[in-house]
Each structure stands twice: as C-alpha cells, then as structure tokens.
Amino acid sequence: MLREQKAKAVDKLADKLSRSTIVISTSYQGVATKDVAGLRRTLTREGIDYCVVKNTLTRLAADKVGKRDVMNIIEGPVALAFAYDDVIWPAKVLSKYIKAASLNMRIGGALVGDRLLGADEVIGLAALPSKEVLVSQLLQQLQVPITGLHNVLSSPLRGLLNVLQATKYKKDV
C-alpha cells in the first residue's frame, strides 16, 4: 500500500472506531471468501460495517481516537464488525449467521465503549432477549408488587361482601 492509501485507511478506521458503540473481532482464517462476502452482505443489510483490517493500521487508528483497548481483541488476521446504535443486535446477527452457515469462524472478543468483552461474553450478549422483550419483562416484574398489594387491600372488602351476600341470601330463603 502506498503511504497515502495507508493514511486514508487509518482515517477511515479511526472514524469507524470513534463512531462505533461496539466493535466485534472475528477470526476469518480457514473460511472461504464467498462465505465472508455473504457475512459482509448480511451485516451491511443490518447497518453493521464488516471489514478485514491490518493490525498495524488498526493500532494507528486506535491511537488516533484513544481506543487503544481495541488491540486487546485483535490477534492474528482479523475482521472487525462496527455497529453504531444497538450493542446487542450486532452480536446476535453475527452469532446467528456463523451458526446458520456452519462457518469455521471464531469470535475473538468485543469492545463496548471502554469495556472489553471476551468471546464467551459476546456469545452471552447475543443470547440476551431484545430491548423490547427486556422492557416488557421489567414492566411485568414491576406490576407484581402492585397486584399483590391490591389483592391484600381488597381481601377484607371481598370478605365483607361475601358475608353481606350470605346474610341477604338467608333472609330471602
């Protein structure tokens, strides 16, 4: 690569690193080019950038934007997935595609903000339910104490109502 091309590549990587909410590292050795291209197309449809990177240029870009921790998830030839909004969705899409296509690809780890995640943590992140499901589960859990309180407070009234109805029934008979 020429020096100008390397400088442009570093700038492009620095831009992606600075904007990303999660960066996931994958090892692509032993995977056919057509499979990597299929993965790239799938991720691009989901708004996730996926590119094979040179470690030296990545180090320069990481130094430039202050995300030096990204080098801890890079080992050997890697491709990086950059996502800019949701943190869980990219891990889900990547993990699901690797399983569905039976690729011999390994997730190396991820950088979420300033926190490093190991491969197991990324797979665990992919297993989490979506944000909407988590919010609905939280709301459901918040309703449990209120429902219990309602039942406890209305129980004496129900008992009184039952006694009054039984008394009325006896008088009618």
Q: What is the 3-state secondary structure (H, E, C) of 34-70?
A: HHHHHHHHHHHHCCCEEEEECHHHHHHHHHHHCCHHH
Distance, CA of 42 to CA of 95 (rounded, Å):
12
Q: In terms of pTM, does the model score above 0.85?
A: no
Note the pLDDT of residue 152. 79
Q: Are strands 115-117 and 49-53 parallel, antiparallel or unpaired?
A: unpaired
Question: Tokens at residue 21, please?
Answer: 């909410």
| Amino acid code (one letter) for 18 | S
Which stretches of the chain score pLDDT less than 70?
Answer: 1, 173
Cα 35 from Cα 139, distance rounded (Å): 41
Dump pLDDT digits (tens) for 87-125: 888 999 999 888 888 888 889 999 998 899 998 999 888
What is the β-pairing status of strands 78-83 and 22-27? antiparallel
